[in-house]
């Protein structure tokens, strides 16, 4: 991994290694340790695209991280030949409700119903998936 000395957002990468974790779709992830001692885990594909020789602010990093995701989503929507009305319905109330339902389940499992609004900036869909998958596995094991 040739990310040492490069920047990911405003942080200079001290070391990087392949994570044992994978993305939801099974793609490789990379663990980054920054010079300030913080660590983070990201999909390898994202780090390959966004690691640079110059630091960028967090807002710019967020925009650059979201861009390829939106590109893929728009491609899927275009392929599906949904009408604009169906698209607005799918990505508006339907998608939001689905995410909020998962978040509510996670709140009840991990934080005993405490509001997670303050965690929205750090919790990923993969974090929620791991919680829900673990809960499902635990319940199955109890039944056996």
Residues with Cβ within 8 Å of 127's Cβ and at least 6 positions away in sequence, in order, are 106
Domain coordinates in residue numbering, the chain: 1-81, 85-144
**Which residue stretches of 44-124 are H helix?**
44-50, 58-80, 84-89, 95-110
57 — pLDDT class (breaks 50, 70, 90): very high
Predicted pLDDT of residue 44:
96
Residue 141 reports pLDDT greater than 60: no
Q: By percentage, how much of the chain surpasses pLDDT 90? A: 59
Residue 144 reports pLDDT greater than 60: no
On whether the CB atoms of residues 28 and 12 are closer than 8 A, the answer is: no
């Amino acid at each position: 991994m040739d990310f040492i000395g490069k920047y990911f957002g405003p942080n200079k990468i001290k070391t990087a290694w392949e994570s044992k974790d994978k993305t939801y779709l099974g793609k490789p992830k990379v663990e980054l340790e920054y010079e300030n001692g913080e660590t983070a885990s990201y999909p390898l594909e994202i780090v390959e695209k966004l690691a640079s020789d110059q630091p960028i602010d967090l807002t710019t990093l967020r925009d650059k991280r979201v861009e390829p995701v939106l590109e893929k989503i728009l491609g899927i929507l275009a392929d599906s030949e949904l009408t604009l009305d169906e698209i607005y319905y799918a990505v508006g109330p339907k998608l939001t409700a689905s995410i909020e339902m998962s978040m509510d389940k996670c709140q009840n499992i991990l934080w005993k119903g405490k509001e997670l609004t303050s965690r929205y900036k750090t919790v990923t869909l993969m974090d929620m998936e791991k919680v829900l998958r673990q809960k499902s596995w635990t319940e199955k094991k109890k039944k056996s």
